[in-house]
């Protein structure tokens, strides 16, 4: 039997984080379930008193991050899997979004993820093992009108994750980028903030809103199955660097990769003509 893993999961009160915590606990693993309001995950601790630890953690506040990591190490002596799941979405045209909205979402989705990772990595290096799962999105690969800011945070997560994978591989640490499409979570309600559109962007905003509603009303992913897929990725000997989740994610990523390849091919002669003459 493989040794039980210790999972440290941010944003465990709902969605992917909650489902992943539940599935890991069912398998006999240990889970540090973190949330801004730890009372929302206390039930996991009551149900699995020897396996679960409910801890307060706000990814925008470094003292709570340091305290949560310390409690995890004191309780379980190690951290095998870090899941950077905490985050939210922002809809709005680039000209309409307010500076404070942009800074707030970057503080959570990018700097929060970075701060938690920096706090956990020393323990993983000490162990000479570990796995970081960074929850990105299909919009970390593609983007659309009215989600540019949210998409840009996920593009940032992908860039950070790629670099991190090269920096820590010699320490026995793996990195996987998770790219979900539309799943049946509370992202469309509690996890989403919208900017009121100005007159020039009302049509674009409505088109994006209609598109989102079509996702919500159409086929969507099961967050429990997403959790199982992430666990499978962690347990696999051939760990994926990227894991797209959902048919919509797979199709959109394939489409954007094909379009990028076509652009490179079409403009290759011009691109190569920029070489310095020797």
Bridge partners (DSSP) of residue 259 are none
Catalytic residue list: 136, 150, 154
| Residue 205: both structure tokens together | 């905003």
| Helix residue ranges per DSSP H, the chain | 15-26, 42-47, 62-76, 99-106, 113-127, 148-168, 202-217, 223-235, 247-266, 268-272
| Residue 197: both structure tokens together | 């559109």
| Residue 167: both structure tokens together | 């920096």
Contact present, 12 and 21 (Cβ < 8 Å): yes
Q: Which residue has the tokens 């970390």?
A: 140
Contact present, 101 and 193 (Cβ < 8 Å): yes
Q: Is the dihedral of CA 196, 198, 202, 207 positive or negative?
A: negative
Q: How far apart are CA 158 and CA 267, in angstroms?
A: 26
Q: What is the dihedral of CA 183, 84, 114, 88, to 10 degrees?
A: 30
| Residue 97: both structure tokens together | 């979004």
């Amino acid at each position: 039997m493989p040794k039980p893993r210790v999972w440290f999961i941010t944003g465990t009160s709902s969605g992917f984080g909650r489902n992943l915590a539940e599935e890991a606990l069912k398998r006999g693993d240990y889970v540090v379930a973190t949330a801004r309001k730890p009372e929302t995950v206390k039930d996991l601790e009551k149900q699995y008193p020897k396996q679960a630890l409910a801890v307060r953690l706000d990814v925008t506040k470094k003292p709570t991050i340091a305290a949560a990591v310390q409690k995890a190490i004191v309780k379980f002596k190690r951290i095998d899997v870090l899941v950077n799941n905490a985050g939210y979405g922002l809809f709005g045209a680039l000209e309409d979004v307010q500076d404070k909205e942009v800074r707030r979402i970057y503080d959570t989705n990018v700097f929060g993820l970075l701060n938690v990772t920096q706090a956990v990595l020393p323990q993983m290096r000490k162990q000479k093992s570990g796995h970081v799962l960074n929850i990105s999105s299909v919009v970390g690969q593609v983007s659309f009108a009215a989600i540019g800011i949210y998409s840009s945070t996920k593009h940032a997560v992908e860039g950070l994750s790629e670099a991190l994978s090269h920096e820590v591989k010699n320490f026995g640490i793996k990195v996987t980028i998770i790219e979900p499409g539309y799943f049946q979570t509370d992202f469309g309600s509690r996890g989403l903030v919208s900017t009121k559109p100005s007159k020039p962007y009302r049509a674009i905003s409505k088109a994006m809103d209609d598109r989102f509603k079509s996702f919500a009303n159409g086929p969507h992913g099961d967050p429990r199955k997403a959790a199982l897929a992430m666990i499978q990725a962690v347990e696999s000997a051939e760990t994926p660097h990227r894991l797209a989740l959902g048919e919509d994610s797979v199709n959109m990523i394939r489409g954007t990769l094909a379009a990028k390849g076509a652009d490179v091919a079409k403009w290759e002669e011009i691109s190569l003509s920029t070489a310095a003459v020797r």
